[in-house]
Structure 1
């Protein structure tokens, strides 16, 4: 250092002094900032990160876990309010599980287990700077999914939807449904009774039923044919109503039919009577009712539970009809029919007369005063 000129010696001293000062500054920086402490291999090492948010979820406090991909990677060390109205969360994060996490991460609040314990959920995002000890972040939560918030929202929905009108409707529907309980209980009792006494195999019962039902198609066809022919009166050669018989009743006025022709069963041809009428009666008598009679006669003991079950069902009917209201309802029904067919005073719509009015036992409940009733 003493060699050379005075200027050379000054330059050497300045260089050495600068190097010493740079080493001192580097040591101070490494001791204070600890930039390489983030990547230590110590599994128990933590970094402190401050998170400023507009709000926090219910139940987030000191000791609340910080979760990354469903695994706890730290905890909240302190919760405090800020002057701007937000919330400051002081957290400690483990170094190894959070390696590569940046300040571009997002957070939300949600339960971390099946018991609804709240936690701070961290979601990593691309970009940003790697977190370091003492980092200060300002993040807006993507949502509050805690159990307390869910219950709060459900309470708001219930308070808005469960109105007195809806509760009244539910109550009425429940009371109406209770009226079906006797019918359901009776049906269940009957089914159990039939199952308890049924000793014949099901295939035998179905075979007997098939034999009984075999006569139903021709019977139904005959009934439809007879009904169609009775409706179409012009199919049969009718007879004019006896004038003497017509003179004994009040003269019908228009629009009532006069000299109407009615079907005469005596005009059946002998061929039709032998080939269709008698055959139909024989099928009904021997095929249908004969098979039913054989089935019932062979299962007399099995019919008793069925009859008892039907009786239990039908016994619920009289309870629905209040005897004290029957007379009033019948009288009102009769008066409505009379007003319905009264016409305009000069011409009646339909000539109607209740013949039962002449019986005192019927006229009294109906509220009718006739010549036979004092």
Structure 2
């Protein structure tokens, strides 16, 4: 015998409560069934990509390609991948849905490759537009013999293969040497940068003026090269590179003689000087100090440049006082001895030539001092 069920939240008799619970349970079951059906059938149809469907037949698929993967054209998303079928051992079937604008722009000559759709390396189908061909129709099948793989995983795989095959111990050692050499050259490079910066800071003239000066330098550069080559030729053909018979070669005897001469000079001359200085330091130090004190006073005695000019003029005047043929120059002087007759007689007795004595200038007063006048 069935037992009545009493619910506090459902009013009425036991029969009414049972009927209400059955109705609510049936409604819940129906709602659940409808949700499952909508999820399994309606939602995929509602969210299914719309647009022009194209069936691609490719030799291989890019790693990580799946449904809902992006389809790119010139870097922009123009569609999605609807399905992938790789059951055929010789090809891969990829169905894509393109939006209307991309389908109207592309022709059936486009190329296909696989590459990352974003920074994280998600694989996408990339379409490359090509000129010519016809417009794309819905459901059209397009086959391609090649589909290059530029995905992130393939790039990492190839990089690993390259590193594994080429990054050997010898290569690592070579890279270490290059790094050390580069570190050693860094001060030189820094110095060049500093020098260039200082030149740019100190450059006071326009480049045109500097180039003009450079032209002046290059004008004499050929002559400088000729002289340099001549110096090299002279060094090459010097006695050091000639044998006694005049032929080219190393004169061993001559070099031995020069070596012995240098040995004698270094040991006999400079060695003796060093011995003398070492053994008589107490005696030589006062002499050197005295010479230093004497030499230090020379600049003060000579004076500045104006004194040297006056000395030069005095020397020129003294040279002009000597006249006569070369080797027989005599000093031409006329002494005025009007006020000292006794001295004039003495000079005449010594052989001095007498002449007409000069008289004082009328405009000047008489003087009691003897005067000398240079004869011109």
After TM superposition, the score normalised by the length of structure 1 is 0.35
Structure number with greater CO (CA < 8 Å, separation at least 6) is 1
After TM superposition, the score normalised by the length of structure 2 is 0.35
Which structure: larger Rg?
A: 2
